[in-house]
Amino acid sequence: MLATVSFALLLASLRVLASPIVVRDSPITLPVARRVNATGAANLVKMEQARARALSNRSTAAKFHTNELPSYSIPATNQFVEYVVTVGVGSPPTDYLLVVDTGSSNTWIGNGKKYIKTATAIDTKQSLDVEYGSGIMLGEEWLDEVHLTPGITLTNQSIGAALIAIGFDGVNGVLGIGPQALTYNTLFPNSTSTITTVTGNAFLQGFIDQNMVGISFEPTNTNESVTNGQLTFGGVDATKYTGELTYVPVTTTQPAGAYFGINQTISYGSESVPILPSLAGIVDTGTTLFLLPTDVIAKYQQVTGAQMDQNVGLLSLTPDQFANLESLFVNIGGQTFEFTPTAQAFPRSLNAAFGGSDDLVYLVVADIGYESGSGLDFINGMTFLERFYTVYDAGTHRFGIATTASTYATN
């Protein structure tokens, strides 16, 4: 049995329009580590499909307080590749290693490293339940200081302290930087209260002048962890991208519109073979692969000749087929973003990690696990985001994207 999940209904009306702001030029920049856990690769596709289903199937169903705990048939492994930051909580602060997630909005700690309560900790007496499809966190809500970088200390930040966390081996929790409305129905008993996110508090407390985050991720050839990403709260880092940023409003199509959802079309190769019609999906740092609906994957297989490697769950090409692979052209907001053959493939050095054959090239373009038409038809995950600079603007409900030095890199 697959995970049973229940999710809060988005109340679009909960979204708060950005108020006029005092212009300051003080973005907060955090280094982000790209963490690889080779043994976590085996269930990659199953876990990603479970997350996609959970994200696309938000429901009004009662949560764990009235229901049984969801059961997970998928082993509680964490993701194969994930981006993590170190954040301090309390005074003096204790450091926690957190997954950067634009697909959820609760920030919590306490997995594998206990929440150390200092004099700044305030118990809200609320419990917390966040469900991810590939994991779950149950715990208590506290308000505390959060230290993002030296000199930037948020006060009164809501923090979850995990009592049970499944699916987050190797990290202490999640830094949820999605839209605030995603926190609706995660607290109990005040289930209709939403929680101001870390980004939201940095904005409200005057540390940044825009309620947004700019993210730089970079691909690597290695199967080792490396610190090559950057999170910028309150602005963008113009040294990390080339050309102009293209901004699009968050899509009105639900459920994608509850997240950093956008509409995009995709065509393949120099002949512009249509692959994905204009559909809504999301941009998500909590997903590794570039997930497309089953019917769209069939078209992609047709034009590329890619075969499903049943052992691995990923599409693969022979080296000869790979030599003929052409780019995907992803159109967002009227601009075309090229996703090159190199970008579509995992580095060969990772093949052993997911139990693949050394003779094949494995692709990051994978099946989301359901047909198109759900209102959340694709997920541009980290393997996509490593090729572009991206901006998550919760304040004005828009998403931005620009090319980078990695867009056309062929390593």
Ligand X SMILES: *[C@@H]1O[C@H](CO)[C@@H](O)[C@H](O)[C@H]1NC(C)=O
Residue 154 vs 236, nearer CB to ligand X: 154
Q: Whole-number minimum distance, CB 264 to ligand X, in Å?
A: 9
Q: Whole-number minimum distance, CB 305 to ligand X, in Å?
A: 27
Residue 39 vs 307, nearer CB to ligand X: 39
- Residue 133 is given by DSSP the state S
The whole-angstrom separation of Cα 254 and Cα 251 is 8
Which residues contribute to the site for ligand X (CB under 6 A)?
37-40, 53, 56-57, 77-78, 143, 156, 158, 169-170, 189-190, 193, 223-224, 251, 253, 263, 278-280, 349, 353, 370, 374-375, 377
Tell me how far apart the terminal alpha carbons of the chain are, to the nearest angstrom: 40
What radius of gyration do the chain's Cα atoms show?
20
* Residue tagged active-site, from 129, 284, 367, 393: 284
Note the Cα 79 to chain centre separation in Å.
Answer: 11
Residues 6+ apart with CB under 8 A from 19: none
Residue 38 vs 308, nearer CB to ligand X: 38
User: Residue 336 carries which side chain, given as an amino acid letter?
Assistant: T
Q: Which residue is nearest to ligand X (CB)?
A: 170
Assess whether 25 carries a catalytic annotation. Answer: no
Contact between 301 and 62 under an 8 Å Cβ cutoff? The reply is: no
Q: Whole-number minimum distance, CB 53 to ligand X, in Å?
A: 4
Three-state secondary-structure class, residue 323: helix
* Residue tagged active-site, from 101, 144, 367, 377: 101
Q: Whole-number minimum distance, CB 378 to ligand X, in Å?
A: 10
φ/ψ of 60, rounded to 5, equals: -90, 5
The whole-angstrom separation of Cα 292 and Cα 297 is 6
Residue 77 vs 404, nearer CB to ligand X: 77
Cα angle value 149/110/42 (rounded, 5°): 100
Residue 261 vs 400, nearer CB to ligand X: 261
The token pair that represents 181 in the structure block: 């409305």
Task: Identify the burial level of 46 via C-beta atoms within 10 angstroms of its C-beta, where 0-12 means exposed, 13-18 middle and 19 or more buried.
Answer: middle
Q: Whole-number minimum distance, CB 358 to ligand X, in Å?
A: 10
Residues 6+ apart with CB under 8 A from 348: 358, 361
Assess whether 284 carries a catalytic annotation. Answer: yes
| Catalytic (active-site) positions | 101, 284
